[in-house]
Amino acid sequence: LTTALLLAPATLWLVVFLVLPFVAIAIFSVGERAPEGGYQAAFTLAQYANLPARATAFWNTMVLAPVGAFACLLVAYPVAYYLALRAPERWRLILLALVVIPFWTSLLMRTYAWMYVLGGRGIPALLADVGIEDVRLINTPGAVLLGIVYGYLPLMILPIYV
């Protein structure tokens, strides 16, 4: 077979799942929102004029992503080390299952559970019962970091364990 024929499946895959979505995003980014919602074909740079308003979200992402990855590593490495080398043989499979089981639940369900725990009827309500008022835990960088670590922790534990 020729080289081009061997490269065709990978090239097709990249074009369909990388290049075409990128082109679609670029086209939608210079379009307008239709009055009834959706997309209206037109050329406007209004979305780009509003870009400085999104700078805070961008920088929060640039800070929280590596901090979240490092926090995951700080938690995952000792857990994986214990699972691989220190856990008793009879407990190893059970502990490994406890790492994997959260993935059996939808990410959306886990997110709503964290919203409930960090929202007004969860931990803040418990703190209010013991006299600590006006604690806001949801929609904070700490809550986002907790969500990142919780969501990605098994994805870091398992490769380190193996």
- Report the alpha-carbon distance of residue 28 to residue 103 in Å, rounded: 33
- Report the alpha-carbon distance of residue 83 to residue 89 in Å, rounded: 9
Residue 120 has what pLDDT? 86
Residue 78 has what pLDDT? 98
Residue 37 has what pLDDT? 82
Residue 39 has what pLDDT? 84
Closest alpha carbon to 161 in 98, 68, 67:
98
- Report the alpha-carbon distance of residue 65 to residue 145 in Å, rounded: 8
Residue 50 has what pLDDT? 86
Q: Is 33 helix (H, G, I), strand (E, B) or coil?
A: strand
pLDDT < 50 regions, the chain: none
Who contacts 19 (Cβ-Cβ below 8 Å, separation ≥6)? none
Amino acid at 11: T
